[in-house]
A and B are shown apart, each in its own frame.
Chain A
């Protein structure tokens, strides 16, 4: 076989292997969840791969929608996620601007401390105690503040590198034109940060939307539950046997928003993550 032919054969083999792996290991579980969310309780318990013999798609989705307060969960997740992300972007960009432009030793040190925070997660027990002390515990504000504290390091890190690439001349020019600091920030910096903002939003969305552990500790009252918390309650309603058909239905509903957004913005997300992520 010629060199070219051999490379072709390798390439084909590679894609065959990739396809098998992708189908069995990735598409497979997704399919099991989806198809069993269409089945009745009894059939779903066997968790087969086949299509339902008895379609229960309407019953399942209606039941989960009502019992698991999916609309509430969706609303709560949206409120928490969007607020947190907006705050993270604005606050993070502000801090990044300062860190990127400053030459002071103190600021350099602070920046390194902040970057360290990416890898070191917040302490649950003491952070909750802090939330209680300032009176923010229990509702969405507390959780939002928790997320801001937890993800600012990552946001600041992503943005600082980008700000450095914005020429200072642009800022000076704007100032000469009479812009105040805030004006420079809003008119020059933020717009030029658009690519990294997009990347950050995507990353933060993935991290915050699906977050369970901290939400579990920080939110009180089921009315405040975000979607992952709702899933936990649905799964645990079982007395003796887990109602997998309903659990899978809930999983579909919880995952759908993010998957939907992803499908829409897919190309932008991919290029953002592969291109922008490491520019720090």
Chain B
């Protein structure tokens, strides 16, 4: 490769990246950085002036327990979603790994929920889980007695249910990423293992899983971050209730913003941002280290 020629020609080509970077900086990086400023002010809708208030916002949210609760609910939701989506997604991927006609049909079916808007999914399941909804109807048929449980009104069950709904919507994507990962593992490796007498389970643990590592890391990070940044489904189903048991951080932020407390909303955004960084950065570093080149 004529390096000199490339570099010379290259110098003036870099403007091609400029528009992208400009937009990226203005509307993604800079606002994220600005959080570091506004989170420590009393920016609000009551008065146009803005004052620095330091850690007051965070102190207030810690004192009344709402910050801890919001983080706890968000983390619970994200972990539930990560476990469910990755578990089910991997199972489906293993079942539908080979690209046959019938597998394509199933892959398509399981991918359909990904295509529907989250708001629509939320409303649909709110209807299904309603006291007079289909789920109760079917349970009633199975058990023989009328059931009118308001499932999303159960303060202990609600978080699990919304996590299931969120996973329902996104598991198709997780499945596809795992399928891509599985298809990237050369058959020879598995053949060799089988020839050597390894059982299916052993092949899976020793060959498949390690070579699937990149896909696992991507999926785990995507599902956790997706879980932490959820809003639409919760907004459409429970609005954070009952008794704030499903009030994830984005829902909380929406409430604070709507009450006019922009500084507090930004502080919460900052907390969410830091949590996401704290989870993705180490996991991504892990990815780099475990990358097995074929």
Contact = CB atoms under 8 A, between A and B. Distances in A.
Interface of A: 14-15, 18, 22, 25-27, 29-30, 32-33, 36, 45-49, 91-92, 94-95, 97-99, 101-103, 110, 113-114, 116-117, 119-127, 129-131, 134, 145-146, 148-150, 152-153, 156, 168-169, 171-172, 175, 181, 185, 206, 209-213, 227-228, 231-232, 235, 242, 244, 247-248, 251, 254-255, 258-259, 262, 266-267, 270, 273-275, 277-278
Contact of B6 (A26, A36, A153, A168): A168
Contact of B180 (A33, A131, A274): A274
Contact of B119 (A98, A152, A212, A244): A212
A103 B277 CA distance: 27
Contacts of A277: 176-177, 180
Interface in B14-41: 14, 16-17, 19-21, 23-24, 26-32, 34-35, 38
A274 B177 CA distance: 6
B73 to A, nearest CB: 17
B269 A181 contact: no
B40 to A, nearest CB: 13
B142 interface: no
A102 B13 CA distance: 10
13 contacts: A29-B124, A49-B137, A91-B23, A119-B225, A123-B34, A125-B265, A126-B34, A130-B26, A171-B9, A210-B117, A213-B235, A270-B111, A273-B176
Given A210-B116, A231-B120, A120 B128 contact: no
A101 B120 contact: no
B253 A278 contact: no
B134 interface: yes
A117 B29 contact: yes
A113 to B, nearest CB: 8
B195 interface: no
A235 B23 contact: no
A156 B215 CA distance: 19
A123 B9 contact: no
A56 to B, nearest CB: 17
Contacts of B270: 123
A101 B10 contact: yes
B130 A172 contact: no
A62 to B, nearest CB: 20
Contacts of B236: 232, 235
Contacts of A29: 124-125, 128
B245 interface: no
A251 B277 contact: no
Interface in B181-227: 181, 183-184, 214-215, 218, 221-222, 225
Contacts of B19: 91, 94
B66 interface: no
Interface in B268-292: 269-270, 273, 276-277, 280-281, 284
B176 A103 contact: no
B241 interface: no
Contacts of A121: 225, 229, 276
B31 A126 contact: yes
> For A148, A212, A247, A266, which residue has the most chain B Cβ atoms within 10 angstroms?
A212
Contacts of B125: 29
B225 A125 contact: no
Interface in B33-58: 34-35, 38
A186 B258 CA distance: 46
A181 B12 contact: yes
Contacts of B108: 266, 270
B112 interface: yes
A212 B117 contact: yes
Nearest to B267: A125
A241 to B, nearest CB: 11
Contacts of B184: 278
A49 B134 contact: yes
A131 B34 CA distance: 13
Contact of B110 (A26, A251, A275): A26
B155 to A, nearest CB: 22
Nearest to A169: B1
Interface in B99-130: 99, 102, 104, 106-120, 123-125, 127-128, 130
A258 B96 CA distance: 24
A231 B231 contact: no
Contacts of A153: 24, 28
The 6 closest A-B pairs by CB, nearest first: A149-B27, A210-B117, A94-B16, A126-B31, A95-B20, A98-B17
Given A126-B269, A130-B27, 20 more contacts: A22-B110, A26-B112, A45-B132, A91-B23, A94-B17, A95-B17, A119-B225, A125-B262, A148-B27, A172-B5, A181-B9, A185-B16, A211-B117, A213-B235, A270-B176, A273-B180, A275-B180, A275-B183, A277-B180, A278-B215
